[in-house]
Structure formats: C-alpha cells, structure tokens
Amino acid sequence: MRIIGGSVFDLKEGFVDRTLCTDGAVIAGESGDDKTIDASGCYVIPGLVDVHFHGCVGEDFSDATAEGLKKMADYELSEGVCYICPAGMTLGEDVLTEVCKTAAAHKKTAGSGAELVGVHLEGPFLSSAKKGAQNSDFLHDPDIPMLRRLQAAAEGLVKLVTVAPEQPNAMEFIETATKEGIHVSVGHTVADYDTASEAFAKGADHATHLYNGMPSLHHRNPGVIGAAFDNGHVMPEIICDGIHIHGSVIRATFAMFGAERMILISDSLRATGMPDGEYPFGGQMIEVHGNRATLLGQPDTLAGSVTSLMGCMRQAVKFGIPLADAVRAASYNPAKSIGMEGRIGSLEEGKDATAVLLDKESLEVKGIVFRGEIVK
C-alpha cells in the first residue's frame, strides 16, 4: 500500500511530505501491493497509544466482561486510538483477577478493534489521602505476591502498576516489580520529594496523571512533580481534556519536561461517547455534565475524563502544544513507557503498518490503516 500526498509524522523532523509504504502488516521501503490512499490535505500520524483509560461507550474494563472489552476496543480504534493498555480500579483481588483473565482471553481471541497491548493496575496500592475516585474499601499495601498472582492471571499482560511510594513495603515492591519487567508509576500519593526520588531511584519510571492525585508543586516542597522532573528517565502522564489541567499548566509542563518525556492520557470513563447522566465507576457512582465527570454528590471530586485520547491530543494543540509534540506524546512516548516502542508508536520501517489520517484544518480522523488493513 502507498499512502501518498500527506504530511507524514517523523520523530526527528516533525512532519515530512513523503509517501508512506506498507508491505502486509508492516511499514516498508516499498509497497507490497498496488493499493493507494490519497492523503492530500491530511497529516499521517501513528495510531495513538492510550496507557491509562478505564472505559467508554457504556463499558468499563473493571466490569471484566468479554463483550464490554470488545466494545471498548472497537470504539477506541474508530477514534484512531489503535493500541490500548486499559486501567483497572481499586477493587478486591478476586475482581482484579477476573479483570486480568478477561484481558488475557481478549488478547487471544480479539478479531477486531484496537489491540490490547497491556494492563495498567492503577489500584489498589494507593494512599487513602489521595485516592480520588478510587474505592477506599479495597486499598491495599503494596504486595508482590498479589502482583504476581494478578500477572499470572493476565498471562504476562500487566505492563504498568501505580503505587504510592510512602506506603509500607513500597520500595521493595517497586524494586522487585521493575526487575520482573513491570513498569512502576508513582501516583495517588502524598509522597514528599525525598520519598518520590527514592522510588524513582528504585526503578519507578512513570508518574500517574501528573498534578492529579498528588501534592501540588511548591517552591519549598516540590514533591512528586519536582522529583519526576529531576529524574530524567521518568515519563509523566497528563490528562489534557480541558477540565483536569489548565492550558497554562499544560504548556508549562511540556516546557519543563520536554516533549520527549510527556505522555498524554485520556483517563476516560464508561461515559465517554455517551450522553450526560449517572454511571457506575469502581463500585461508586459518578455524574457527567458535558465533558466533566465527578463523584455523585461531590462536584469537586473529579472522577476521570469523558474525552478520548484523540480528543485530548486535539485539546493539547488548542492549548498551544505543537502538533508534532502532541502526536509524539500520544503515540511514541506512551508506547515507550510500557516497552512497546520497537513495534508501535512511530512510522518507521519494520514497525506496525498502523496510521491515522487527520484533516489538516480540523484534525478530524479521515482514515485509519490498522496493521496494513484499511478500517476507515
């Protein structure tokens, strides 16, 4: 296949006017067939990678249903989010085990939709003081045997786990999980600078939705945010839905960390793609009005977003982030954060032949090629 006439995303150059060729399911130097897509008037970008979202179209990953996960994958692919690492909530181990088993089964049998490339355990190893919309009844101290049981249930799909490093056993947990190939993210925490720095020194390399669920950056107490900045291997997530973080802070954070480290996430809930109303979330109820989701009866407690990652990427551009930086933060960087950048996240030869065509004026999705097949 030849995708002609478009401005193709390049990690080093930004966008380059060139022809992108595919051969079967991979990007190649020459086309493997006589198919041609005219991408005139479009940017050609990698399929986006969301490493932190909970649900959409009325479904939630933590429901642990095969049908629900399929609906989520289908919706995400239609949005140009081609690779997903959905997040589980703070729930009992029995429920999380079923969530992990459902993910493993989906990975083996999925015939359509975005590819499930991992599982993110956002809970239960969190701080009660910064639990946010997580259910405090199921919070649990960091526990390596429990993590191993969940990883076994997921058949190796757990790629990312969020931990509050001030909790008992956290440092040993971080060190062991990292050695066992699971990326550790610091989040839902009241950790100070020194504690967060120790966590990053032990191997944590990710920060869960920066600013949300952690102490603010203070000039005398820089906390997790300052520690993340000072440890150059750490990649911070940020929710750019226009609700969670002010545009000025989005711009400042990209400037502070650099585009090569930033990860855009959606943190989307089951209400994404659905009308306003009340929805279940992690054993609690949330209410949605427009693009704002909060715990029911607690209008100041944000519960996640109702915007897809593609919508968050567009919002970042509206906030003034250069398109190439926003694309990188929604594709290559999240892929790198879970060790998948060798196959997905950029448009280089030998990688998955997955590309999304965006209208240059509106940034709306005009076409999707997924692993060499035209799906939109």
Q: Which residues are catalytic?
A: 267
- Pairwise CA distance, residues 366 & 5, whole Å: 14
Query: Does residue 351 sit in helix, strand or coil?
Result: coil
- Pairwise CA distance, residues 344 & 198, whole Å: 31
- Pairwise CA distance, residues 181 & 178, whole Å: 5
Place of tokens 């509106």: 362
Torsion sign over Cα 196, 200, 203, 204: positive
The single-letter code of the amino acid at 331 is S
Radius of gyration of the chain (CA): 20
- Pairwise CA distance, residues 120 & 269, whole Å: 15
Query: Does residue 194 sit in helix, strand or coil?
Result: helix
Burial status of residue 344 (CB atoms within 10 A of its CB: 0-12, 13-18, 19 or more): buried
